[in-house]
Amino acid sequence: TAEKGLDYVNTFGASNQGTALIFPQGETRQTFLVPILDDQLVDVDETINLTLSNPLVLSNALPGGVQIGGNNPASITIVDNDSVVGFALASYSVSENTSNAVITVTRVGGTVGAIAVDYAVNNGTATNALDYVATNGTIIFPDGVRSQTFIVPILDDGLPEPNETVDMTLSNPIGATTLGLDSATLVIVDDELAPGDFVFATNNFRVAEGGGVATVTVTRTN
């Protein structure tokens, strides 16, 4: 499934060109090289087919000849190392009374080798140092790791207010990766109830004429 010239360099050896694998007397192992090319594309693992043919006897010490044995054909699997790194979601949410919002970043595609990406957290409608703590840093994905997280500290201002947002961005991918979903929103869900209307508890209070005072109850919603 690999493509010649894009994923690997086609190679062969033939005895009439002096490039065949030659096993001297007593030798049980030889090797040849297949140059592999990094296409910088995010794709599935790909394969190269290998075949052996035309076994020849170069010495009279083997009067019975030689033949091709098992494991022919064989294959090479090229494990893709390219990936796309980005936010796992376009929008995250956290309650205002939670200490930290945990933000997940993933890489899709190959996981061979380490990669890194920078993150930054800034004001949306929320205010730094009042609703959250602005932060930035670098996320490192070790070899084989697909998911990492970073923390956004959340502050409870004690005020009844609408839900507020924090803007988050990814940048500067390092290694065999490119950026995918590079921006996301964190919604801070307010945990205080806003005061509502003040209303009479009923629209008709009743009191006896000789009762001294009338007690009137007023309520407020939330």
> pLDDT digits over 185-195, tens only?
999 999 876 66
pLDDT at 210: 80
Extract the runs of DSSP E, i.e. beta strands, from 142-202.
147-153, 164-174, 177-179, 183-189, 198-200
- pLDDT band at residue 222 under the 50/70/90 scheme: low
Share of the chain above pLDDT 90, in %: 56
Pairing mode of beta strands 164-174, 74-78:
unpaired
d(CA 127, CA 164) in angstroms, rounded, equals 9
- The answer to whether the predicted template modeling score (pTM) of the entire model surpasses 0.85 is no
What's at 215, amino acid-wise? T
Q: What is the mean pLDDT of residues 10-36?
A: 84
Q: Which of 52-56, 87-91, 94-98, 116-120 has the lowest mean pLDDT?
A: 52-56
pLDDT at 139: 98
pLDDT at 99: 94
Share of the chain above pLDDT 70, in %: 94
d(CA 86, CA 140) in angstroms, rounded, equals 13
Angle among Cα 33, 38, 39 to the nearest 5 degrees reads 130
Q: Name the residue with higher pLDDT: 170 or 65.
A: 170
Q: Which of 120-134, 136-150, 193-207 has the lowest mean pLDDT?
A: 193-207
- pLDDT band at residue 207 under the 50/70/90 scheme: confident
Cβ neighbors of 132 (< 8 A, separation 6 or more) are 101, 121, 126, 152, 153, 154, 155, 166, 186, 188
Asked if 192 contacts 158 with a C-beta cutoff of 8 angstroms, the reply is yes
Place of tokens 């690997």: 8
Average pLDDT of the chain?
89
Beta-bridged to residue 184, according to DSSP, are 168
pLDDT at 131: 95
pLDDT at 195: 67
Whether pLDDT at 86 is above 70: yes
Cβ neighbors of 105 (< 8 A, separation 6 or more) are 85, 86, 87, 88, 117, 119, 139, 147, 148, 149, 150, 170
Q: What is the mean pLDDT of residues 118-138?
A: 97
Whether pLDDT at 17 is above 90: no
pLDDT at 68: 87
pLDDT at 92: 97
Asked if 104 contacts 149 with a C-beta cutoff of 8 angstroms, the reply is yes
